[in-house]
Structure 1
Amino acid sequence: MSVPLYEAKAEFFRMPGHPVRIRVLELLQDGPLPVRELPAAVEVEPSRLSQQLAVPRRSGIVTSTREGSTVVHAPAGGDVADLMKAARRILTGLTAGRNELLTELREAEVTAR
């Protein structure tokens, strides 16, 4: 039985639904990183990072390869970086709209006095 596309999309968008996972995806936009560099960059304990990395690895959007004794994580494709950039653009637009509304509200309050 196939899953409706809207359900598959909902499941996909739940995957990055944690700040640690989002931060890792942002860091990986610039290229693969050894796992030893991630805890300091994300500011979490290695065990917590490992738990959070398991989710995007299982979903297939992050890959892990071993280079000698080092495990290196990378985005599975450029679309992951595009998704993070799109989220930033959307949030920037939303924030700008809120700031404009706040400015208008403050100006109206001053005028009403």
Structure 2
Amino acid sequence: MNTAQAKARADLLKALAHPTRVLMLDELSRGDRSVNDLRRLAAASQPTISRHLDRLKKAGIVTERRVGPRVIHHLACPCMLQALSCTLEALKSVKKRQADIV
């Protein structure tokens, strides 16, 4: 891996580095959603959700399509769910090690 590839990977991981975006990706793993669907889930304003979606779209993780007047968002890179699952397993492992120490 070269420096440019390392930077690109770090930028992709930064796009995931917000709890609201993690919630949104988890919801998108269950199917396509509108901004309003995601807004209700995250209990955030529409502009806030739109900013998070923009970040995920720029990273290539989410795409959108228009269905009549609505914009529907789709998980473009389902393999990102494996990355999120890996983070959950890592957290469980850390908690177990910490519990074993105590």
For this structure pair, what is the TM-score category when the shorter chain's length is used for normalisation? 0.7 to 0.9
Aligned residues: 101
- The CA deviation string for residues 28-59 of structure 1, in whole angstroms up to 9 with x for no partner, is 11121122111110111111111111101111
Seq. identity, %: 22
User: 1:3: how far off?
Assistant: 5.2
Note the aligned Cα RMSD (angstroms).
1.6
Read off the aligned partner of 1:33 and give its amino acid letter: R
Output the TM-score relative to the length of structure 1.
0.80
SS at match of 1:30: coil
- The SS at the match of 1:82 is helix
1:100 aligned residue: 100
Task: Give 1:6's aligned residue.
Answer: 6
Q: Is the 8 A contact 2:64 2:71 kept in 1?
A: yes
Distance 2:101 2:31 in 1: 38
The 5 Å alignment of 1:3-42 reads: 4-42=4-42
Matched residue, 2:59: 59
**Given the two structures, how large is their TM-score scaled by the length of structure 2?**
0.87
Offset, 1:21: 1.1
Shift of 1:4: 2.5
In 1: Cα distance, 2:68 partner to 2:97 partner: 49
Instruction: Write out the 4+ residue segments of structure 1 that deviate beyond 4 Å after TM superposition.
Output: none
Unaligned runs of 5+ in 2: none
Query: Superposed, which structure 2 residues align to 1:67-82 within 5 Å?
Result: 67-82=67-82
Structure possessing the higher radius of gyration over alpha carbons: 1
**Is the Cα contact below 8 Å between 2:60 and 2:77 reproduced in 1?**
no
Q: Matched residues in 2 for 1:55 and 1:64: separation?
A: 13
